[in-house]
């Protein structure tokens, strides 16, 4: 065919991996099939070599299969609620746990510093925010990631010694995980608020709510969180940013025990009102449930499955099953893209923050948005986007969890077991739906949206795993 004839006919354009070309072609209103291709590992020859070594090792594949099976076979149950210092390993009277990888107080973002000030006032260690700030900076307080103590916390993720925490036990393997009680929306500690109303709510949770719920859980013989999560996914929740169904199911299951003659009915009524008024209550059960499942999968030799994704507002960190439990692979926390609440814009938001990405690490949350199409009204995008996000996550995971089925995907099991090899080979990053905190302490939530980890986390992990597993 001559050049003249070629351009005289209708063009059929296939564009591979050059999005600027695709945009220009689209601007000229010419049909174009675009293939979003990128070279593996960003084209870095050192990383490609490390990736090839891991991909060619059959022991890694088997290790990942074992890790994924451990996640799927784990069975989280709510067994108790108690003060953190009584149940969380390593907690002391002057220990404060926080979200994300390790960070010094001076380097923390505004919401986390504000939440720590509130926690120190709540503990009676400081009378004012100024005193609390000085104490936190003095070196007298030990700061440590929640994840280093089998715990998780949303947003700032602050856990202080006196705070009540849910105790969730993986009855398959016997390990326990912990999370505080969700305070609700508005002015809350997890967004850095530390006003008297915030501290009064925390004291109510400790002094009145916890004793009632402790009795109720004992009477119920525990609450099967795996079963509740499975039901909620079939009722429009994804159990991260939408927990309406899960919270309703929880209240339904516990209601008969709240009405038991052994329970003070005035206190029970107040506790039920507190739970009913907070449709996100289940989030602080979903998170430790996921944590207990993933901890069961950590420590599988040569596995490249991710067992932690967490953010502190400065850095994003991941952990990998086959690497030491205290080893983090970090990169800069990203900005969340989504919908802003009225009166705020993107300049108001803090970088990505919180341990709640433990839900995505397990295969729910953003990975299960197909099950919760209404979530797009909160985080932005369309229903087709939600379906696409869930479908894409199968490309970077090891298995599917039949216990967590997604109805809009013909009840396909949720994508489970993020594989750092597949992330780097495909260029597809895990999707996380999350809230946005204001960059200044105490303002609260300013929006919600979608965020991805920095690819640097996975590059570091692949390089470290390739070196360690080859030597091993």
Sign of torsion, CA 24 26 30 33?
positive
Report d(CA 124, CA 295) in Å as an integer: 33
Architecture of domain 75-287: Alpha-Beta Complex (3.90)
Across 13-22, 217-226, 453-462, least confident range = 13-22
**Beta 223-224 vs 142-145: how paired, if at all?**
unpaired
Structure tokens at 436: 């946005």
| Residue 354 dihedral angles phi and psi, to the nearest 5° | 115, 160
Report d(CA 378, CA 242) in Å as an integer: 9
pLDDT tier at 156 (50, 70, 90 boundaries)?
very high
Cα angle: 427, vertex 428, 431; to 5 degrees: 150
Strand order in the sheet with 432-437: 337-340, 445-451, 432-437
Over range 248-269, report the average pLDDT: 97
Domain ranges of the chain: 3-37, 41-71+298-471, 75-287
* pTM recorded for the entire structure: 0.92
pLDDT tier at 14 (50, 70, 90 boundaries)?
confident
Structure tokens at 124: 């009676």
Of residues 49 and 16, the one with the higher pLDDT is 49
**Beta 412-418 vs 32-35: how paired, if at all?**
unpaired
Over range 86-114, report the average pLDDT: 97
Q: Tell me which fold the domain 41-71+298-471 belongs to.
A: v583 fold (3.90.1700)
Among residues 345, 344, 373, the alpha carbon closest in space to that of 433 is found at: 373
CB 98 within 8 A of CB 151: no
Over range 134-163, report the average pLDDT: 98
Say what the pLDDT of residue 37 is: 59
pLDDT above 80: residue 16:
no
pLDDT tier at 326 (50, 70, 90 boundaries)?
very high
Burial annotation 64-102 (CB, 10 A radius, 16+ → b, else e): bbbbbbbbbebbbbbbbbebbbebbeebeeebbbbbbbb
Say what the pLDDT of residue 31 is: 75
Q: What is the mean pLDDT of the chain?
A: 93
What is the enclosing helix (H) or strand (E) of 76? strand 76-83
Say what the pLDDT of residue 282 is: 98
Note the Cα 195 to chain centre separation in Å: 27
Report d(CA 230, CA 282) in Å as an integer: 13
State in Å, rounded, how far the first CA of the chain is from the last one.
58
């Amino acid at each position: 065919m001559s050049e003249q004839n070629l351009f005289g006919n209708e063009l059929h354009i296939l564009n591979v991996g050059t999005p600027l070309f695709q945009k220009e072609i689209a601007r000229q209103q010419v049909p174009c099939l675009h293939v979003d291709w990128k070279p593996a590992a960003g084209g870095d020859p050192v990383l490609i070599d490390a990736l090839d070594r891991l991909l060619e090792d059959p022991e890694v594949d088997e290790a990942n299969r074992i890790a994924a099976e451990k996640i799927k076979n784990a069975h989280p149950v709510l067994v108790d609620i108690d003060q953190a210092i009584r149940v969380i390993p390593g907690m002391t009277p002057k220990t404060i746990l926080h979200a994300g990888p390790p960070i010094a107080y001076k380097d923390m973002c505004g919401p986390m510093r504000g939440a720590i000030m509130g926690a120190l006032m709540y503990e009676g260690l400081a009378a004012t925010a100024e005193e609390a700030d000085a104490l936190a900076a003095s070196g007298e307080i030990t700061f440590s990631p929640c994840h280093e103590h089998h715990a998780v916390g949303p947003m700032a993720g602050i856990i202080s010694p006196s705070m009540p925490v849910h105790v969730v036990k993986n009855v398959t393997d016997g390990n326990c995980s912990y999370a505080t009680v969700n305070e609700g929306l508005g002015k809350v500690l997890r967004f850095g608020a530390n006003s008297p109303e915030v501290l009064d709510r925390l004291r109510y949770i400790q002094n009145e709510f916890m004793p009632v719920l402790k009795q109720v859980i004992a009477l119920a013989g525990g609450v099967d969180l795996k079963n509740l999560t499975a039901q909620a996914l079939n009722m429009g929740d994804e159990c991260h940013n939408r927990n309406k169904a899960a919270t309703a199911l929880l209240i339904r299951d516990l209601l008969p025990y709240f009405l038991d003659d052994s329970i003070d009915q005035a206190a029970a009524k107040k506790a039920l009102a507190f739970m009913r008024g907070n449709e996100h209550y289940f989030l602080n059960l979903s998170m430790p449930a996921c944590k207990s499942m993933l901890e069961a999968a950590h420590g599988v030799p040569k596995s490249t499955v991710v067992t932690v994704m967490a953010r502190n507002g400065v850095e994003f960190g991941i952990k990998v099953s086959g690497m030491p439990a205290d080893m983090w692979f970090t990169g800069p926390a990203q900005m969340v893209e989504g919908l802003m609440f009225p009166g705020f814009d993107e300049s108001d938001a803090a970088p990505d923050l919180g341990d709640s990405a433990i839900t995505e690490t397990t295969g729910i949350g953003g990975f299960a948005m197909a099950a919760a199409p209404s979530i797009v009204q909160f985080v932005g995008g369309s229903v087709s986007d939600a379906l696409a996000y869930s479908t894409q996550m199968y490309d970077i995971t090891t298995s599917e969890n039949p216990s967590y089925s997604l109805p809009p995907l013909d009840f396909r099991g949720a994508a489970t077991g993020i594989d750092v090899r597949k992330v780097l080979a495909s260029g597809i990053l895990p999707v996380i739906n999350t809230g946005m905190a204001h960059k200044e302490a105490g303002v609260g939530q300013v929006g919600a949206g979608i965020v991805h980890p920095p690819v640097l986390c996975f590059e570091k992990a692949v390089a470290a795993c390739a070196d360690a597993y080859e030597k091993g």
